A and B are shown apart, each in its own frame.
Chain A
Amino acid sequence: MKDYAAKADLNYFITPEHTLKFGLISTLHDFEPGSAKGLGDQSLFTEFSLPSNYALENGIYISAESSLGERWNLRYGLRFSSFHNVGPATVYNFNQDYQAVDSIVYESGNFFNSFGGLEPRLAVSFMLNDWSSLKASYSRTRQYIHLAQNSTAGTPLDVWFPSSPNVNPQISDQVALGYFWNLWDDRLEASVEAYYKKLNNAIDFRDHANLLLNRQMEGELRIGNGNSYGLEFLIRKNTGHLSGWISYTYSRTERVVPEINNGDPYAAPYDRPHDLAIVLNYEISKRIWVSGNWVYSTGLPVTFPTGRFEYMGNIAPVYSNRNAYRMPDYHRLDVSVSLAGKDKPGRKWGWDLNLSAYNAYARKNAWTINFVQDDNDPNGPHAEMTYLFSISPALTFNFHF
C-alpha cells in the first residue's frame, strides 16, 4: 500500500484563552494486493495479478481550545472526512450467499463510490490542584481503510481493504476518562486512563475463507460490530541518572459478527489483554550509559483443533470456537551499553560505541504454530512452532564530524 498526501494547517489565536485551528488533508491511497506467476518461460501458469485499487481520502477540520477560568480547559472540534473509490476498478456484486453474481468495470479516473461524514470530538480537563488533573473525552472517527487479519496460528496474514460499495466505513465512538499527575517538580509523571470504544462495521474473514489471490476477496469478508475497553497505567521519569517509563495496559477487544462463531462474541484477532513495557536508561558517567527495555504481552488469539474425527478413511480436525485459544505469551529483553569519546574543547569530531543485544535472553517467541502429522510417529499429530529471532548482538561505531 502506498500513500501520497498533501496537507495544510492554520492556527489562529483569538485571545490567549481561545485558539482556533483549521486544516485539511488529502491522501491518495494505492493498494497493491499481490500477484503470482510461474517461474520461467515454459511455465504452465500465466501471470495472475490482482488489480491495484485507488482511493482518495479527504479531511477538513476546525477545532478550538478555550480556557475557562483557572481550572477548566475545553477542546472541541469537528472534522468532515470523505472517501472516494477511484477507477480503474472492477467491482463485484455479491448475492445473499456472498457469491459474485456480476461485476461492473469503472474506467480510469472515475470516482465511482463515495462515503463521507462528520467526526465530532470533545475533551475537557479540570485541574484539581497544581500537580494533578482529570480529563474526559469523546470522539467519533470514521475509518475508511480496514485491516483483516487471518488469526490462524499457522498464517499471520494481514490484508488491507479500502471501503467500497461492498464494505462500509468503520465508525468508532470512544469515551475516555483519565487522572494525570506530576510529582517532584515534574520529574515524575503518572497517569491512569480508562476507555471504552464501540465499533460499527468491523470486518473479519469468514470460516474457510479463500485468501489465495482471490479477485473476489470482498466476498470472503463478514461484517459485524465490536467493542473494546481498557485501563492504562503510565509512570515516567524524564530527568536524572535514571530515566525511563513503565506502562501497563489491560484491555479487551471483542467482535460480534452474525456469520462467525454462531454469532457469539469472540476475541478480535489483535486482542492482547496484558501489555507491559519497561524502558530504562541509566547514566553511569557522562561517557557511559546503559539502557534496557523489556516488553511482555499476552499471546494473540488463535483457533486450535481440539478434537478429531474419521470420515471416508481420513482424519479431520474438530476446531475450537473462533479465537478461543492463544499463542504463547510474547516477551523480550533488549539491552545496550554505550561509550562516548571524550569531548575535548575545540574538537570538531567525536565518536561513540554501542554494544547491544536484541532479545538478550533468547526467548523463542512463536510466530506461527502448525499441527503436523509425522507418519513415523505413532503418537499422533504434534504442534510445531516457528520463531524468527533468537538473541541478536550488534556492535555499532558512530563517528560524527
Chain B
Amino acid sequence: MKNSKTIAIIFTLMIFLWNCTERIEVEVDSSFTRLVVEGYVTTDTAAHWVRLSTTSDYFYNQPAPAVRGATLSIDDGDEIHMLTESDTLPGVYFTSPGYYGIPGKTYTLNIRNIDIDGDGEIEEYSASSVLNPVNPIDSITLRYFNAFHYTGYEIQVYAWDSPRKDWYAFKVHKNGKLITDTLYELIVQNDDFFNGNYTYGIASQFLSNDKPDEVVKIGDTITFEINGIPEEYYYYIIEAQSQIFPQTPLFSGPPANIRTNMNNDAIGFFVAYALNRSSTIATADVVDGGIPQ
C-alpha cells in the first residue's frame, strides 16, 4: 500500500454536550461537629459579644445550632472578666456594658463547660488576640458615583497611616446602625502600598443604592469606622470571603479550610482590635449627585 492515498469522508454526529450539567448525589460523610466561635473585643466601651454555634452537615439548610450553657471568660493578662449568656439571642454571650479593650494588651477567650462532640466529657477551648492600636481619622467625605448603571457612594478617607505594619477592616454605619454587616461588605486592607503615608481621600468603602439599607437620604449621618486588626484576622477574612463569594471555579485553587485562631479543632475567630470613627452628614449636593429625584 505504499504511495497510496486515502480520502476519508466522515459523517459524525458528535453529540457534543458541552457544559451539560445535571444534579447528582454526592455522598459525603457527616464531618464531626466542631465548635464555631465569632467573638470581638474592641476599644469601645460596650457589651462585647461572643457567639457560639456548631458546624452542621454541608447539605443541612438550617440556621447553625447555637451552643448554650457555656462558661466564657476573657483574660487580658491582668484580670479575668466573665461573660453572661443572653436570654434572647441563642448562643450569644455578653461582657458587662462597661467593658473595653486597651491597645497593646493580649486578650484570651476561654470557653468551658461544653461538650461539643457529645462524648460526655467537658471540653475547653481558647484563643488569643493582640489588640493593635489604630490611628485616628481626620475626616471623611461622601462622593456619589454612577457607573455602569450602578449607583451609590464611595467613602473617601483622610488619615495618616502609621509607620508600623497595619491591617485594617473598614465598616460603615448609617444613623448609628452598621450597614456593612456581612462578610461580603466588610473590606480588609493591608498597608503594603501606602505604609506611613497620608491617605488623601482614598475610597475605602462603598454604599450601593441597590441595597435598601445603604440608600442615603439628606440628613443621614454616615459614620466610617476603621479597625486595626491582627494580621491573622486579615487573612482569615480574605480566606472566608474567597469561600463565600460567588464561585469562580476556574483558578480558585485547591479548596481548603479557612484558618482559625481557636484551638482544639474549634473554628472561627476571636479578635481584638482598636477602632476609630469619623462621621459626615449627607447634604443635598451629595445625595444622588445633587440631582433631585
Please give the residue numbers on chain A whose beta carbons come within 8 Å of chain B beta carbons, in ascending order. 150-152, 154-155, 157, 204-213, 220, 303-320, 322, 325, 328, 364, 366, 368-372, 378-401
Is B200 an interface position by the 8 A CB rule?
Answer: no
A396 touches B256 (CB 8 A): no
Total count of chain B residues near the partner, CB < 8 A: 67
List 5 contacting pairs A-B, 8 Å CB cutoff, sorted by A: A155-B252, A311-B36, A315-B244, A371-B58, A392-B16
Known: A316-B243, A383-B26. A394 touches B60 (CB 8 A): no
Secondary structure at the B interface, as helix, strand, loop or mixed, is loop
Contacts of A315 in B (CB 8 A): 244
In this complex, which of A154, A310, A319, A393 has the most chain B Cβ atoms within 10 angstroms of its Cβ? A310
Known contacts A211-B253, A320-B31, A400-B7, A370 near B24 by CB under 8 Å: no
Given A309-B53, A383-B25, A400-B1, the answer on whether A151 and B254 have CB atoms closer than 8 Å is: yes
Closest residue of chain B to A315 (Cβ to Cβ) is B244
Q: Which of B4, B15, B186, B249 contacts A401 (CB 8 A)?
A: B4
With a CB–CB cut-off of 8 A, which chain A residues contact B38? 310-312
CB neighbours of A322 from chain B (8 A)? 254, 256
Given contacts A381-B59, A382-B23, A400-B4, contact A309 B36 (CB under 8 A): yes
Query: In whole angstroms, what is the CA distance A390 to B20 when docked?
Result: 10
Known contacts A155-B250, A306-B28; A319/B13 CB under 8 A: no
**In the complex, B146 has a CB within 8 A of chain A:** no
Is B252 in contact with A152, judged by CB distance below 8 angstroms?
yes
Bound CA span A204–B23, Å: 30
- Specify the chain A residue showing the minimal Cβ separation from B9: A397
Tell me the bound Cα distance from A325 to B58 in angstroms. 14
Shortest CB distance B200–A (Å): 23
Assembly CA distance A307 to B258 (angstroms): 12
Indicate whether A310 sits within 8 Å of B64 (C-beta atoms), given known contacts A155-B249, A392-B14, A396-B10: yes
CB-defined interface of B177-211 with A at 8 Å, one 1/0 digit per residue? 00001111010000000000000000000000000
Give Cα A168 to B6, complex, Å. 48
- B residues 1-49 near A (Cβ < 8 Å) are 1, 4-26, 28-31, 34, 36, 38
Give the Cβ gap from A234 to chain B, nearest Cβ, in Å.
Answer: 30
B135 at the interface (CB under 8 A from A): no
Residues of chain A within 8 A of B242, CB atoms compared:
208
B254 touches A207 (CB 8 A): yes
